[in-house]
A and B are shown apart, each in its own frame.
Chain A
Amino acid sequence: MILEELAFLVIAAVAIVTAANALLVRELVHTILWIALFFVDLAALYFLLAAPFLGVLELGVYAGAVTILLLFGVMVTRKRIFAREAVTGIGPAPLLLAGLVLAVVVVGAEELPSGEGTVHAYAPALLSQALFNADGPWLLLLGLAMLSALAGAIYLVREGRE
């Protein structure tokens, strides 16, 4: 299916470009705009992979909530919202590490599966069954993690703490 291949290539290109831009631009607000684009792009990819529930989740949680949170963080910590970041150099150790990772990835590329795979679609109802399955109480665990994170976050930002 040439159309889907094409769509994937476009989406992948956009994902890489937006992610790279998010990390490389020097205004933090621009970074957040780019990362919002990145999240929307990923949502599109999920739709392409026949996972519409995840796509919606990505849009709602990432492109919506997380982006707003990050923006909020920038607003609170900056006097001028469009202030530019100072350029930071890259030391030899990260470069060496990057080279190493690149080598692993290049070598690992040979291990990638060739040929085409078929994308299977599932009804979202089945996903909800999986999520609420008593054998794997994913949502319960997630709820617990969020609750403790909430407590931790409140503790961290409490006033008058030194």
Chain B
Amino acid sequence: MSAFSPAGLLALSGALLGLGLFGILTRRNFILLLISVEIAINAAVLNFVYFAAFSGSSSALSGQAIAVVLIGLAATEVAVGLAIVLGLNRLRGSINVAEASALRR
């Protein structure tokens, strides 16, 4: 049984989310984009774990369960993302998302 301030934890996940968003918005390399998304997802997972840990009730374990699912989903997302990277690379010879602007039309 340990105890410490949850404020720091929340601030940490907020900061990590902000970093992830920053990456998503500014990086043009698809792999960096994926990495940014991972950072943001991890910030969210952290929140689930915090609240599971600080809550006394037994149902709080579902917080950890969701964290497990999220980690799995994030791994899946990376796999799909890499598949996209490969496809994009083959199609355009580059993984710069600014060049993949087919969504415009």
Contacts and interface: CB of A to CB of B under 8 A. Distances in A.
The answer on direct contact between A and B (beta carbons under 8 Å) is yes
Contacts, number: 219
A150 B73 CA distance: 12
B42 A42 contact: yes
Interface in B81-105: 82-87, 89, 95
B90 to A, nearest CB: 8
Interface residues of B, number: 70
Given A94-B26, A115-B5, A156-B83, A142 B15 contact: no
Interface in B59-85: 60-62, 64-69, 71-80, 82-85
Interface footprint category on A: 35 or more
A148 to B, nearest CB: 9
A117 B82 contact: no
B31 A101 contact: no
B27 A152 contact: no
A12 B62 contact: no
Contacts of A149: 76-77, 79-80
A35 B3 CA distance: 28
Contact of B8 (A8, A53, A90, A108): A8
A141 B65 CA distance: 12
A112 B7 contact: yes
Q: Which of B36, B60, B85 has its CB near the most chain A CB atoms (within 10 A)? A: B85
Nearest to A113: B6
Interface in A44-77: 45-46, 48-51, 53-54, 57-58, 61-62, 65-66, 69-70, 72-74, 76-77
Contacts of A119: 1-4, 53-54
Q: Which of A48, A61, A66 has its CB near the most chain B CB atoms (within 10 A)? A: A66
B1 A121 contact: yes
Interface of A: 1, 4-5, 8-9, 12, 15-16, 19-20, 22-23, 28, 31-32, 35, 38-39, 42, 45-46, 48-51, 53-54, 57-58, 61-62, 65-66, 69-70, 72-74, 76-77, 85, 88, 90, 94, 97-98, 101-102, 105, 108-109, 112-122, 126-127, 130-131, 136, 138-139, 141-142, 145-146, 149-150, 152-154, 156-157, 161
Minimum-distance CB pairs A-B, first 5: A153-B83, A156-B83, A112-B7, A117-B54, A149-B76
